[in-house]
Structures are given as C-alpha cells and as structure tokens.
Structure 1
Amino acid sequence: MLCLASASPRRRDLLASIGVEVSVRPSEVDETPYPGEQATAYVTRLAIAKAEAAMPHTALPTLGSDTAVVVDGAILGKPADADEAASMLGRLSGRTHQVMTAVAVTGPCGVLYRCVSTDVTMRRLTGQEISRYWQTGEPADKAGGYAIQGLAAVFVEEIKGSYSAVVGLPLYETAQLLHQQGVPIWMGHYNSHT
C-alpha cells in the first residue's frame, strides 16, 4: 500500500490501473514558482515537497507528483477564470507545448524522483471552441486549462512521450520508483525477481 499525497482522482485512478492500493492524504504546499525557476526544477521541487509533507502522517511509502504545462518557457498553472483559460488555450492553439510531470516516492531508499517531459501538439482552436470548452467546467482545475483524458482529447493532434504523464503520472517511471521502494504493482512478487 502507498500513501498518495494528492487529491487528484486522476492520479489515484492511474495508480489503481497498475494495481497499487493507495491511502489518500493530500499535501498543502505553496505552488508559487521561484523567480527564474525552470519548469523541470519547479515540478520536481513540488513533487518532493508534497511527498515529504505527507511523510510525518504515515508509515507507508509516500508518492508526491506535480504537473505543469509549459509553452515558450512559461509555466501555465490552473486557470483562475474564463479569461485566463482562454488566454492559455489561445497560446497552446496550433502549437506544440511540453507537459512536465515529476513524481517522487519516499521509502526505505530515501526520496527517489523522476521528471518526464511529453510534447503535445494541439490543432488550431477557435474562440468559440475555447469558450464552449470552458463552459463544460473541465478546464477549471487543470494545468494549462485542459484535460487530455477528457473533452479536450479532440484538440490534441499528436503526443510524443508519455500519455499517462500528461494525465498526471508517468506510469513507466512511477512503477520503477515504486519497485525500488518495495511497493508492489500488479505483478506483485514476480517483480521482486527481476
């Protein structure tokens, strides 16, 4: 079993998809980027901070993760309102951007972490599409103002890299970290012989 330091139902579902049971204990950390902080450093710092913040409350290995949408070097967080969402989606429209997701797992080996970058290309979006998408409510709590696993799937022309990382957790890398910390995935004991 694993402590998930996140309230994200997407991360919980992704872990369940590889057979990992979790106890959810969201961590409250300040997500303000440091001045001049690069996206990779930013998401890695937050993933580690979230995992470490939950550690004192559990004896279980703890997983923290953070995702950022990056375009032109700028980190796009969750939109505050319709105007900000429209601005974000307008910047992503017809272009390729990066989704950076970091995962950190605490356990017997200390704090282990990885950061994954995926290229996402969106088709050109009209102002009407962006407005209608906001009205669905889906973009409100999503980095970059969209959910690739939701209605915005129709906007995505191509991805290069980890799909699950764009959703919120790079499963290939996460499974490696969990294995190192002694947390079994669906393969259970078979995994310990490799």
Structure 2
Amino acid sequence: MKWFPEYNFILASKSPRRQQLLKSLGIDFSVRLKEVEEVYPENLTKEEIPVYLAELKAKPFKNELAKNDLLITADTVVCLEEHVLEKPASFEEGFEMLQSLSGKQHQVITGVCLSSQNKTKSFYALTNVVFKKLTPDEINYYIHAFRPFDKAGAYGIQEWIGSIGITSIEGSFYNVMGLPVQKLYENIQRF
C-alpha cells in the first residue's frame, strides 16, 4: 500500500540526516545536487529566511523536472532572539555559537519547498529548544569529537550535545534534525 501519490521524488540535499528522515516516511527517492550560493536579503524575518533559501535551492531544477517529478528542497536556520546562527566556519566560531546558546532558549526553523513542473508549495516549521548551562569542557569535547561544521548553530540534536544538554523542546524534534517530517507528510498529501 502506498501513502503517497505516484511521484518520482527527488531530494536536493546532501544532508545524511535529511535523507534518513525522508526514508523514514517510506518514500523512495533519488538525490540530485546543484550548488547554490545561500545568500538572502537582509530584510527577511527569521521565518522567511529558510523558506527563501529552500525556494532558492529549487530554482536550478525548474526546467529539468519531468511530468511526474516532485522535488523537495529544505534549509534550516538557528535563531537566538533575532540573530541567525549559520554553520560555523571554524572551531572558535562553533565554540562561540554554543556558548551563546548555553542556558537559553532558541528557535530552529526549517523551510521546505515542494516543486513540480507546474506548482510550488513552501512552508516552515519552528521548534523552541532550551540548552542547560554548558561548561566550556562540554562544548570543547563536543566540537572536537563531533565536528559540527555542517550544522546551523553548531550542533546536532541527535548527537551527544543534544543528549546531555537539551533540557526542553517545544515542537518537532525532527525539524531540529533538519526536516519536519510530519508537516512534510501533510503537505505532500495535499500537494
């Protein structure tokens, strides 16, 4: 029995976490990648940024989609108050990010864009996450052991730092991993 319409699903993401989460929905998909410079206008709200970037990632595929293709693109940002934390470029930057998140609540927002030959649907999910007060030794260990340089906000909730450091979460856990699968499921059903 199939849950989804007979689409040829394409995930435009090299993220192993997104690939794993999409598989968990029981979707057969191929992975196609195109390099996109992830730059966004400064006037966007924190909720608009990941949606804009997900739509930007879909643009290079627009003229390549076949009749039955459904392209999935996504982008995740971490926000502390109104400040967006990107992927850390260095150990020092990662340390600073985690130190700034320590003992505070922040938001993780993932934007998703679904595209076919003649239709586009975008949405986002927001999750509130609270870290305990992290010690410098904990931050140091995590960055050296897990090298979170491909992760917005310098952490993966499914890794050691999430296990020892997150005291509460309000919203989708999977959204923090990079793909709000429940909301994605609903939007594919309606697409």
- Scaled by the length of structure 1, what TM-score is found? 0.88
Gaps of 5+ in 2: 1-7
CA change 1:34–1:108 in 2 (3 A) is: closer
Give the match for residue 5 of structure 2.
Answer: none
Task: Write out per-residue CA displacement over residues 159-178 of structure 1, whole angstroms, 9 at most, x where no aligned residue.
Answer: 00011111011111101221
Matched, 1:111 2:117: no
Runs (4+) of structure 1 exceeding 4 A deviation are none
Conserved 8 A contact 1:2-1:20? yes
SS at match of 1:61: strand
C-alpha distance in 2 between matches for 1:180 and 1:28? 29
C-alpha distance in 2 between matches for 1:138 and 1:71? 21
Matched, 1:30 2:40: no
Conserved 8 A contact 2:40-2:53? no
> What is the 5 A alignment of 1:1-194?
1-59=8-66, 60-107=69-116, 110-153=119-162, 154-181=164-191
C-alpha distance in 1 between matches for 2:42 and 2:117? 33
Task: Write out per-residue CA displacement over residues 18-74 of structure 1, whole angstroms, 9 at most, x where no aligned residue.
Answer: 101111012322212322322211100111121232333342110010000000201
Task: Write out per-residue CA displacement over residues 110-132 of structure 1, whole angstroms, 9 at most, x where no aligned residue.
Answer: 11111111000001111111111
CA change 1:171–1:109 in 2 (3 A) is: farther
- Scaled by the length of structure 2, what TM-score is found? 0.89
Give the match for residue 4 of structure 2.
Answer: none
Q: CA deviation at 1:97?
A: 0.1
Provide the alpha-carbon RMSD of the alignment.
1.4
Return the letter of the residue paired with 1:137. Answer: F
Identity rate of aligned residues, in percent? 34
CA change 1:179–1:91 in 2 (3 A) is: same
C-alpha distance in 2 between matches for 1:144 and 1:61? 29
